[in-house]
Structure 1
Amino acid sequence: MNTLLLIPSKESVGLTSACLGLIYALDCNGVKSGFFKPFEKEKQQTTDLYEKLFQDTPALSIDYEKFLYALNHDQIDELLEDAVSQHRKIAAGRDIVIVEGLPPAPHLYSSYDLNLQLAKALDAKILLVSDADLQAPEATAVSIDASYKALDITGRNRVAGVLLMRTKGLPEQSAQIPVTLDSSLRLVQETKHFTRALQQYSQHIGQAHLPVVGLVPFSNTLSVPRTADILDAIEGTWINEGEAQQRRILHTSLASSDVAYELNKLTAGELIVSSTERHDILLASCLATQQGTPLAGLILSEREQPQAAVLEFCEPTLQLGLPIIHTPLNPIETIQRLHQFSLEISIHDIERAKQITRFVSSHIDEEWLAHYVKKSHQVRLSPAAFRYELVQQAIQAKKRIVLPEGDEPRTIEAAIICQTRGLAQCVLLAKPDDVHKVASARHLTIPADLEIIDPEFIRHQYVDQMVALRRGKLAAAQAKEQLQDTVVLGTMMLALDEVDGLVSGAVHTTANTVRPAFQLIKTAPAYSLVSSVFFMLLPDEVFVYGDCAINPNPNAEQLAEIAIQSADSAKAFGIEPRIAMISYSTGASGMGTDVEKVLQATTLVKERRPDLLVDGPLQYDAASVESVGKSKAPDSKVAGQANVYIFPDLNTGNTTYKAVQRSANVVSVGPMLQGLNKPVNDLSRGALVDDIVFTIALTAIQAQAPK
């Protein structure tokens, strides 16, 4: 399933028209598409139009007040997760989803930043939407280039092209008549000619990474609003509605001089703005109407409406359909409001919507459309999508997770969140009074179904079982002593299947968390060791790093096993693994025992799991950067696009993950232990509440995976 995010270069470029036209073009090509506008103010403009035009239910937009609240309270991640959730609902059973991005709005959180984050979250290709002027290629190119650079997408192969809307300088075409073969060929030639003109001012436009995918002419009849559409914008009331539903505003003029100097403004499609006291302008407009000039309308501003006697005198003209509006605003305020008025299609203007949808679709390059529809870009799991999937899978798993650090404040808050959202049935090992004191101090409400078990009341139950599990290695007295440690106690609960997983480490060391698991849970039958992975939530996608926490210096056999474990972990969380075995050398460029170890491990992975895509040795840049990968390993199917990175030793892995995490401000989830019979996961002692929540979710998902 493809997703295409349409992002405007500025306001009023015809974004709604572009979305609807593209959907219609896809529909004409037999492609089942859906529509989603994540953030929409007040009136559900595009969403409503899509529903009426295509008789289809679109995804729900996020409430605008919630949207603003999230922006103002640094909750962008939560906002993106909501967007992913709605997107997934509409994506089911669709070949492609068209998403309408945010127009530039200086008073909000940078719309470019949010659009880019949205593209990454939805794994969407970007289609820039801009207006154009054939007589001003430099200005057009500058506008497109500014958007391209502001989105910081250069070189990332995320852009599908640029669609030029409301192009001035092209001959006016009727929206009622389909584009003919001759006009289509002419448009192709005009597009190529204009693209060459743009390339004089831009190194990007017209290249493979930024093709011009359509040149849509400005249409007098379709690119402008009806007179009826502006009423609310100027706080107006009707003096005479007339043909306001049919007449369109081609130009707006302020009539403030002597009537003799204003007569040239009385032309078809003109909206005249004047003061209520200017009876001469009213009478001149009526005379022009009687002479057959279809003015867009007349706005009379300030004071009261014209006297009844004046309107009665004009009655014969009013019968001819001249729209007249009264507004309490002064003429300058009225003009300003009209200049700020959006040219997007009104939700009530269905006829215009139908016409412009067909009009835009007929000007989209058919070759590009066919190529894009058939082309399947490589699926990448974005951080927002990863978090969303994590939560959804955990909710479905319905697992019981024990938290040995039950009186630790962050752990308590995380348990409350998990319990409230249904991510897991949490079990806190702590004295209930201590938990309630912490919750009270933090103004937290403990859910009634959150389990709190006092370790003092249950420790004695596990002494004999622990001795049995460690037969010949532990006496009853030693078992009783070790069970004073709540991590050991929680691990015993897991060993006896009383819980499904364990999460610890907020105050304990990794060794404190892992040692009891090695002794009581032990490794799964298929494995000889326990390793770990971190899920690195990079801006573009999610990477898996292993092993960065457990094994200091694995040999080739162990390194191969770590790679297989990590690949299976990636699959369990929706990531199709492309495994890079990391070394200081790519291919045969270097020599030494460390390189030989990685090469041997790569061979073992290929032998044991031919279903996995793996390559090595690869340097990190050759594994992660497409251009470097093509240069250093041109025949590799992994180089430049790896998403599972296996490091040769703990020193390399731990250093790399922390360097990426801190230097690039990347969120990391983990370490998640793999290779155990049952899931046990370690936290960083600096873990935030969200880190603990996601680790609990990870553990719940591990608990439902096939053994």
Structure 2
Amino acid sequence: MPGSVYVTGIGRGDGRQLVELGVMELLTRTVDRVGLFRPLAHDGRSDQVVELLRARYRLSQPADEILGLDYQRAAALLAERGMDELVTELVRRYHRVADAYEVVLVLGTDYADTQLPAELTLNARLANEFGAPVLPVVAGVDQDGEAIAAEVRNAHNAFAALGCDVLAMVANRVPDAETGATLEALADRLPVPVSVLPDDPTLAAPTVAQVARALGAETVLGDHAGLARDVRDFVFGGATLPTFLAALTEGALVITPGDRADLLVGALAAHSAGSPPIAGVLLTLGERPDEATTRLAARLAPGTPVLSVAAGSFVTATELSGLEGQLTAATPRKAELALGLFETHVDTAALAGRLAVARGDRVTPMMFEHGLIERARTDRRHVVLPEGTEERVLRAAEVLLRRGVCDLTLLGEEPAVRRRAAELGLDLALLGADEAAEGTGPVARVVDPVASPLRERFAEVYARLRAHRGVSEELAYDVVSDVSYFGTLMVNEGLADGMVSGAAHSTAATIRPAFEVIRTKPDAAIVSSVFFMCLADRVLVYGDCAVNPDPDAAQLADIAVQSARTAAEFGVEPRVAMLSYSTGTSGSGPDVDKVREATELVRAARPELLVEGPIQYDAAVEPSVAATKLPESEVAGQATVLVFPDLNTGNATYKAVQRSAGAVAVGPVLQGLRKPVNDLSRGALVQDIVNTVAITAVQAQEAAARTRKDASA
């Protein structure tokens, strides 16, 4: 196992931060304790990539431990004592990090005003001294395929000649039209894998907030979401309003003198109408609109940024020339886009194999989340999201598409969904219900339940399923226009593999249609739920904490069996603890007797399953307590599936552990349904939605596998 991986370049402008992010993603999927080391840094400058990696991957490593020497001090040491002394000092600082972590990601020099000679040679020597394989990144900006391929070969040969173990080569920021030619020119020409990543204009686009910082602009109007929009174009306003409106482009930042209230109002009105949605407006010359115009602007396009600078339009344009987007801790969306690009164009499985990092026994929250994403990607499924205009759902949809997790259907009025996505500056490339998809990548469609031709078909199906309740087709026609019912019927009819809802709907609104339409599996007595509780070093499964208030013994046994099956599906070896306030035979009473009876029912139904009950929580998870209370048990002290006697106990416990122990709670995950439908908390974060959709996709994979198995039996 290498003690580190050294990502480096051969010059400026290679965008290697994307590769550094991708490699860190690979390492944290496998290893719990990943360290970070940048041998040389700029004194006084904020290291945006280091801060991004620390924030995204929850690194507790102190920032001053990550940085070796600043360039000024390194140049002085080089001048006074020579290269050997400089390298010796950096090696000493590196080992201070390497000794404390399982693997270290090393970030090479940035070739920007470093005052150091022969930086490529220095990076190669440091990699050799650290015992780290190198992953060189070559810039492909504004070059053709042959030229890029030649540069990649030259870079490989240079590092190999300096004695480096070259892990792989990456050509980054390659013009989209040249990616095929570059790959063809490099085919079988090097002894290591080569990846070619296209230049993505979304990553190169600065956000409105980055423009504001670069210019020292004042924010007149705008919220956090508006300032996070990408600036994809600049439109300079000076013409009459009709001519100006015709020049607007999607994602443009309008730059106009501050006294042109007509252009300000016109641009915001066009944005509000979605024709086209702009990134914001930048007012020059230090002029500000009057109070009445400002109030109108705020009402026309709430949240849309309006900035003000003292300089004129020409000076402002000069300052903005060459400004590019950055991957920072403040731009998590760009990080997701970058990872999507990396995972699409890099053979991550092959690269992970060459890294040869041994997987440990510990499973951290991040490893569990990574595992969900990877499993979902292996056999892409189709998930319907009924809350198509909800901001968090749309942001999650962009992440899911970029990471290749699944195909999506967003429900809602198509113009409203498209307008909301554009307002948020999201790159979703939404398709209409009947539009053909190009390529083989994941797609997102928009379907309006009210206007969809499927509405009549679904009304017939729903009326047939609910005929025993007196539901007519006329009534069903109204019911199925509801997004939750429409999405559920898409799943029931095989037009989607699963559904996720609840960010803006109640649990009842999400689950009731599933109870009525999809119903339970033949081998499940009830629908129940589990939470995956991701602790610092392991994942526990808690059931049922969301659905059944007071299950009887038979229902409790069914919850245990279903929870064990769910645990196994997601890589958690099931050892089931049937929880109570009493352990073994030490207590009696109706509550304990229910758990005792449920335990016996589980043993009768699944004799091969490891189960213990009744048992107290501490005896279930703590080996020292188990050794005293149940020394002969195969479950006590090492339980992975914890079944609570009632909803009150389960819900209170999962929230207490989540808040007090800092656990990541993934769920609730519904189990027992014939096809997967999952509920979200109305406070769900974007990452929670991404995780739940990935879980739903994996459940759909498992359901499809069972169907194939039954068909072949």
* TM-score for both structures, normalised by structure 1: 0.52
Aligned residue type for 2:464:
A
C-alpha distance after superposition, 1:117-138 (max 9, x if no partner):
7899xxxxxxxxxxxxxxxxxx
Distance 1:699 1:232, change over 3 A: same
* 1:472 corresponds to which of 468, 474, 484: 468
For the Cα contact (< 8 Å) 1:39–1:102, is it kept in 2?
no
1:689 shift after superposition? 0.9
For the Cα contact (< 8 Å) 2:449–2:482, is it kept in 1?
no
Aligned 1:550-629 pairs, distance under 5 A:
550-629=547-626
Aligned residue type for 1:521:
I
C-alpha distance after superposition, 1:206-243 (max 9, x if no partner):
xxxxxxxxxxxxxxxxxxxxxxxx999624799xx9xx
In the aligned structure 2, how far is the partner of 1:38 from the partner of 1:461?
A: 58
- Report the secondary structure of 2:457's partner residue: helix
- Report the secondary structure of 2:468's partner residue: coil
Match of 1:697 in 2: 694
In the aligned structure 2, how far is the partner of 1:403 from the partner of 1:234?
A: 59
In the aligned structure 2, how far is the partner of 1:413 from the partner of 1:231?
A: 45
- Report the secondary structure of 2:665's partner residue: strand
Match of 1:82 in 2: 26
Distance 1:537 1:494, change over 3 A: same
In the aligned structure 2, how far is the partner of 1:692 from the partner of 1:345?
A: 40
Match of 1:429 in 2: 411
* 2:399 corresponds to which of 417, 433, 447: 417
C-alpha distance after superposition, 1:31-56 (max 9, x if no partner):
xxxx1445647599xxxxxxxxxxxx
* 1:397 corresponds to which of 376, 379, 382: 379
- Report the secondary structure of 1:524's partner residue: coil
Aligned residue type for 2:458:
Y
In the aligned structure 2, how far is the partner of 1:101 from the partner of 1:87?
A: 10
Match of 1:506 in 2: 503
1:680 shift after superposition? 0.5
Give the number of the structure whose alpha-carbon radius of gyration is greater.
Answer: 1
Aligned residue type for 1:541:
R
C-alpha distance after superposition, 1:316-339 (max 9, x if no partner):
xxxxxxxxxxxx99xxxxxxxxxx
C-alpha distance after superposition, 1:566-612 (max 9, x if no partner):
11111111111111111111112222111111111112212211222
* 2:654 corresponds to which of 629, 653, 657: 657
C-alpha distance after superposition, 1:64-91 (max 9, x if no partner):
85699x7xxxxxxx98643144769xxx
In the aligned structure 1, how far is the partner of 2:2 from the partner of 2:60?
A: 13
More displaced 10-residue stretch of structure 1: 449-458 or 672-681: 449-458
* 2:78 corresponds to which of 234, 244, 255: 234
Distance 1:64 1:666, change over 3 A: farther
Match of 1:32 in 2: none
In the aligned structure 2, how far is the partner of 1:460 from the partner of 1:352?
A: 69
In the aligned structure 1, how far is the partner of 2:131 from the partner of 2:375?
A: 41
Report % sequence identity. 43
In the aligned structure 2, how far is the partner of 1:425 from the partner of 1:589?
A: 52
Aligned 1:67-106 pairs, distance under 5 A:
81-85=25-29, 101=35
In the aligned structure 2, how far is the partner of 1:589 from the partner of 1:43?
A: 66
1:352 shift after superposition? 13
- Report the secondary structure of 2:467's partner residue: coil
For the Cα contact (< 8 Å) 1:80–1:384, is it kept in 2?
no
- Report the secondary structure of 1:605's partner residue: helix
Aligned residue type for 1:451:
R
For the Cα contact (< 8 Å) 1:506–1:683, is it kept in 2?
yes
In the aligned structure 1, how far is the partner of 2:588 from the partner of 2:532?
A: 31
Match of 1:296 in 2: none
1:664 shift after superposition? 2.4
In the aligned structure 1, how far is the partner of 2:38 from the partner of 2:615?
A: 42
- Report the secondary structure of 2:451's partner residue: helix
In the aligned structure 2, how far is the partner of 1:233 from the partner of 1:553?
A: 71
Aligned residue type for 2:78:
I
Aligned residue type for 1:491:
T
- Report the secondary structure of 1:472's partner residue: helix
Aligned 1:115-514 pairs, distance under 5 A:
234-235=78-79, 379-448=361-430, 449-458=443-452, 459-473=455-469, 474-514=471-511
- Give ranges in structure 2 of 5+ residues lacking alignment: 42-46, 66-73, 90-114, 117-125, 133-158, 165-357, 431-442, 708-713
C-alpha distance after superposition, 1:98-118 (max 9, x if no partner):
x985689999989xx99x978
Q: RMSD between aligned alpha carbons?
A: 4.4
For the Cα contact (< 8 Å) 2:531–2:667, is it kept in 1?
yes
More displaced 10-residue stretch of structure 1: 422-431 or 476-485: 476-485
Aligned 1:672-691 pairs, distance under 5 A:
672-691=669-688
Match of 1:321 in 2: none
Aligned residue type for 2:533:
M
In the aligned structure 1, how far is the partner of 2:161 from the partner of 2:614?
A: 60
1:665 shift after superposition? 2.6
Distance 1:684 1:342, change over 3 A: closer
Aligned 1:625-636 pairs, distance under 5 A:
625-636=622-633
For the Cα contact (< 8 Å) 2:529–2:544, is it kept in 1?
yes
In the aligned structure 2, how far is the partner of 1:349 from the partner of 1:451?
A: 48
- Report the secondary structure of 1:581's partner residue: strand
1:433 shift after superposition? 1.1
1:626 shift after superposition? 2.1
For the Cα contact (< 8 Å) 1:40–1:64, is it kept in 2?
no
Match of 2:645 in 1: 648
In the aligned structure 1, how far is the partner of 2:361 from the partner of 2:517?
A: 39
Distance 1:380 1:554, change over 3 A: farther
* TM-score for both structures, normalised by structure 2: 0.52
For the Cα contact (< 8 Å) 1:39–1:67, is it kept in 2?
no
Aligned residue type for 2:26:
D
Match of 1:171 in 2: none
Distance 1:436 1:351, change over 3 A: closer
1:397 shift after superposition? 2.4
Aligned residue type for 1:406:
G
- Report the secondary structure of 1:456's partner residue: coil
Distance 1:482 1:39, change over 3 A: same
In the aligned structure 1, how far is the partner of 2:547 from the partner of 2:392?
A: 24
C-alpha distance after superposition, 1:662-695 (max 9, x if no partner):
2223221111100001000000000011111111
In the aligned structure 1, how far is the partner of 2:130 from the partner of 2:462?
A: 72
- Give ranges in structure 1 of 5+ residues lacking alignment: 1-34, 45-62, 71-77, 89-98, 121-149, 151-229, 250-327, 330-340, 354-375
For the Cα contact (< 8 Å) 1:580–1:638, is it kept in 2?
yes
Distance 1:233 1:66, change over 3 A: farther
Q: How many residues align?
A: 414
For the Cα contact (< 8 Å) 2:29–2:366, is it kept in 1?
no
- Report the secondary structure of 1:599's partner residue: helix
Match of 2:634 in 1: 637
1:534 shift after superposition? 0.8
- Report the secondary structure of 1:488's partner residue: helix
- Report the secondary structure of 1:545's partner residue: strand
In the aligned structure 1, how far is the partner of 2:36 from the partner of 2:560?
A: 41
Aligned 1:37-76 pairs, distance under 5 A:
37=3, 40=6, 65=17
For the Cα contact (< 8 Å) 1:581–1:614, is it kept in 2?
yes
For the Cα contact (< 8 Å) 2:386–2:484, is it kept in 1?
yes
For the Cα contact (< 8 Å) 2:500–2:677, is it kept in 1?
yes
Distance 1:443 1:429, change over 3 A: same
In the aligned structure 2, how far is the partner of 1:540 from the partner of 1:663?
A: 16
- Report the secondary structure of 2:613's partner residue: strand
- Report the secondary structure of 1:428's partner residue: strand
In the aligned structure 2, how far is the partner of 1:352 from the partner of 1:404?
A: 56
In the aligned structure 2, how far is the partner of 1:642 from the partner of 1:488?
A: 38
Aligned residue type for 2:417:
V
More displaced 10-residue stretch of structure 1: 390-399 or 457-466: 457-466
